Amino acid sequence: MIKESYLHKNLQMQVNLKSFCNLRCDYCALPQESKSDKQSDEGHLVANTKKLIEKIKKEGYTLERFFAYGAEPTVVSASVLGAILQVVADSFPMCSVGFQTNGTLLNQDYVGELLKNFRDENRLFIFWSIDGVKKIHDKHRNNSYGVAMENLLYVAKNTKVFNRVTCTTNIEHYEDEDSKTELVDFVKILQENNIDLLMAAADMTINGISDSSIKNIEFSEKYCDFIIENDLIKECGKLTSSGFCYRGGNECHKTLFDINNGNVYLCEKGFDSQTVLSNWFEDSIEKIMQTRCDATAHAKIDKECFTCEFAMWCMGGCPIRRTSSGLSHSCHATKKILTHIKEHVNEDWHGYLLGLQYKAVSNV
C-alpha cells in the first residue's frame, strides 16, 4: 500500500544535480561512481527541472520540499543552482527549497550570484556539513574546516537564508577534554549567530557498524552523555523526532531523483548503480513512489522492537541502517536519550517529543 501522504499527492523530494564532489570525506555514503563525474555541461539542468515539475503537476502531485543533496550541489554554477531553486519556488509557493553542502565553494562571490538568481532568500535553506572540532573535521574532510566556517559565518551575517549545521561527531570528539571543550565552543558560535544545529553521530549510522559492537556502545554512551550534559537534546533530532527520515522506519519514503539522467534512487544514503529504483523520464510519479515504498516495506525488524516503549518514536530506525537481526544501529543511543527525556526533561514526555518533531519538520 502506498504511503498515505502520497494519496494526498504531497511529495518531499531529494535531488542530485551533478555526480561530482570536490572533497572525499570519510563519512560519505556515496561510492566513487556517484561523485567522480566531471562533466561540465549544465545547460540541461534547468530544462530538466522544468520537465520534472511539469510531470509532477500533470499527475496531480505537489511539492512540499525540494532539496539538493550529494554529491555536492555547489559544484554547479551559482546561476544555474539559483535558477533551479527559483523554478521550483515559483511553481510551488509553499515548498521548502535548499541544499546540503560541504560549504567550501559557498564563498561571497558564489552566494552573491546565487541570490541574484534566487530572489526570495527568506525561503532558502542551506544545510552545512561541519564537524565542530577543527583537527577532526580536517582529518575526515580534506582540511576544509577553515574555509567552510568562514563561508558559513559570512552567509549567516549577511543574508536572510536559514542555515543549519549538521555536526557529525565520532568517538574522537569525546576522547579528550580539549576536543569536548572545542565542540562546546563551536556550539556557542552557532548559537551566537542564530545558526541551527543538528548533532549527528557517525559511527551509529555508517554501514557495517553493529549496535552490539563494543565500539559503538562506548561511542553511544559518550555521545549521549555529551548531549545531556550540554543541554543539546533539541539538537539531536535524528534520535528524537519522526520528522527525520531515520524515524520513518519501514514506511520511509525518501527518494533521490537525479535531475541529470532521470534515475531514481532509494535515497541519498543509497545512491549508486545498484539502488536505481526507476527513471522519472519514463515512469509515472505514482509508480515511482509505489516502488520506493515497497522497497523497504518488509525490511527486517528486531523482535525487541515490538515490546519497546519507544517504538512509536523510533519505528525501528532507518531500514538500511540495521544489524542482521533488524536492530537499528542507533538503538542504544535512542533509548538513552528518550529515557532521559522521559525521566528528567518533562512529565509530558510525549508532548515534549511532539514539540521536537514540530521543530524538525518546520525547519526543513
| Position 357 confidence tier, pLDDT thresholds 50, 70, 90 | low
Residue 286: count other Cβ atoms within 10 Å of its Cβ.
15
- Tell me how long the chain is: 364
**R_g over Cα of the chain:** 20
What is the pTM (predicted TM-score) of this model?
A: 0.88
| Position 361 confidence tier, pLDDT thresholds 50, 70, 90 | very low
Peptide bond into 71 cis (omega under 30): yes
Which tens digits make up the pLDDT trace of 24-72?
887 776 666 655 666 667 879 999 999 999 999 999 999 999 999 878 9
State the pLDDT at residue 214.
Answer: 46
**Average pLDDT of 187-204?**
86
163-190 b/e (C-beta count within 10 Å ≥ 16 → b): bbbbbbbbbbbbeeeebbebbeebbeeb
Q: Dihedrals φ, ψ of 43, to 5°?
A: -60, -30
List Cβ neighbours of 322 (8 Å cut-off, separation of 6 or more).
Answer: 299, 300, 301, 302, 316, 328, 329
Cell of 166: 549538521
Q: Are strands 162-169 and 263-265 parallel, antiparallel or unpaired?
A: unpaired
Residue 193: count other Cβ atoms within 10 Å of its Cβ.
13
Domains of the chain, by residue range, sit at 4-362
Which tens digits make up the pLDDT trace of 73-114?
999 999 999 999 999 999 999 999 999 999 999 999 999 999
Angle (CA) 290 271 212, round 5°:
95
Superfamily of segment(s) 4-362: Aldolase class I (3.20.20.70)
Which tens digits make up the pLDDT trace of 294-324?
888 898 999 989 999 888 878 888 887 788 8
Q: Are strands 256-258 and 10-16 parallel, antiparallel or unpaired?
A: parallel
Is pLDDT above 50 for 242? Answer: no
Give the integer Cα–Cα distance in Å for 362 and 164.
Answer: 13
